Chain A
Amino acid sequence: DVKVTQSSRYLVKRTGEKVFLECVQDMDHENMFWYRQDPGLGLRLIYFSYDVKMKEKGDIPEGYSVSREKKERFSLILESASTNQTSMYLCASTPGAGTEAFFGQGTRLTVV
C-alpha cells in the first residue's frame, strides 16, 4: 500500500513564526502536492512538484514556499505564519499525471 506520512497531526504556532510541514511518501512517486482544506472551500492546491527540485505554484501559493530536495520528501514552509493560514493541510502523491492521488493523514495547523 502507498503510504504518505505527514510529520505532525496537530500543530499550534504563533503569528509570525516560520512553520515547516513535512511529507514523506514511500512509493517512489514522481509527483507530490500540498493542499489546504477549509470548510465550504474544499481542497485548494498550494504547490506541487513533479520532480526533485522542481516546483510549480498552485492556486493559492501566497505566503507559502516548498522544498523538494529528495524524491520522497516534500516540505511546505509558511514563511511568516498568519491567523488566516489556520487550516487542515494535506499532502498527496501520484505516480503520474492524471492518475489517482494518495493522501497523508493531514496536519491541522492553528495559528494564534
Chain B
Amino acid sequence: QKEVEQDPGPLSVPEGAIVSLNCTYSNSAFQYFMWYRQYSRKGPELLMYTYSSGNKEDGRFTAQVDKSSKYISLFIRDSQPSDSATYLCAMSLTSGTYKYIFGTGTRLKVLA
C-alpha cells in the first residue's frame, strides 16, 4: 500500500463548477499537509499549507484535513479554465524530518 493515494484523473468539469480533489494516507504521524498546482512542463507551485486538522481558506481554494479519517481535500470554487493543471498533495511528519511524501497528482480540466 502506498503511503499516499491520489486519484490520477483526469477530472473534467465545466467552468464555474466546484471541484473536490482528495488524498488518503496511511501514516497517522503526518502533521503538515500541502497542495501544489503544476502546469504542464512547469515545476509545482505551492497553493495551500496546513498544519494538523481543520480547514484553511484562501480565495477560491479551501484545504481540509481530517486526521481521524486520514483524508485531505482541496476544494476549488467557481473553477476557471486557468485552473486546469495537475494537483499534487504532499505531507510530512513533524519537525526533525526532511521527508515529504507526494501523491502522484490529479489532472484537472476545466472546460470553458
Chain A residues close to B by CB (< 8 Å) = 4, 6, 31, 33, 40-43, 45, 48, 50, 56, 90, 94, 96-106, 108
Size of B's binding interface in residues, CB under 8 A:
27
**Nearest-Cβ distance from residue B51 to partner chain A, whole angstroms:** 9
Interface readout for B35-77 with A: 1 if CB under 8 Å, 0 if not? 0100001111110010000000000000000000000000000
Chain A hits for B49, CB < 8 A:
100
Q: Which residues of A contact B16 (CB under 8 A)?
A: none
Q: How far is the CA of A56 from the CA of B97 in the complex (A)?
A: 12
Q: In the complex, what residues of B have CB within 8 A of residue A90's CB?
A: 43-44
Interface of B with A (CB < 8 Å)?
8, 31-32, 34, 36, 41-46, 49, 88, 90, 92-100, 102-105
- Identify whether the interface residues of B are mostly helix, strand, loop, or mixed: loop
Contacts of B97 in A (CB 8 A): 97-98
- Beyond A43-B88, A97-B92, A103-B44: 20 further Cβ-contacts under 8 Å? A6-B43, A33-B98, A33-B100, A41-B104, A42-B88, A43-B102, A45-B100, A50-B98, A56-B98, A97-B98, A98-B92, A98-B94, A98-B97, A100-B34, A100-B46, A102-B46, A103-B36, A103-B46, A106-B41, A106-B43
Residues of chain A within 8 A of B42, CB atoms compared: 105-106
* Residues of chain A with a CB closer than 8 A to B41's CB: 106, 108
Separation of A97 and B34 alpha carbons in the complex (Å):
14
Bound CA span A6–B101, Å: 22
Identify the 3 closest CB pairs spanning chains A and B, nearest first: A42-B104, A103-B43, A43-B102
**Nearest CB in chain B to that of A48: its residue:** B98
Bound-state CA distance A43–B38 (Å) is: 12
CA distance A43 to B103 in the complex (A): 8
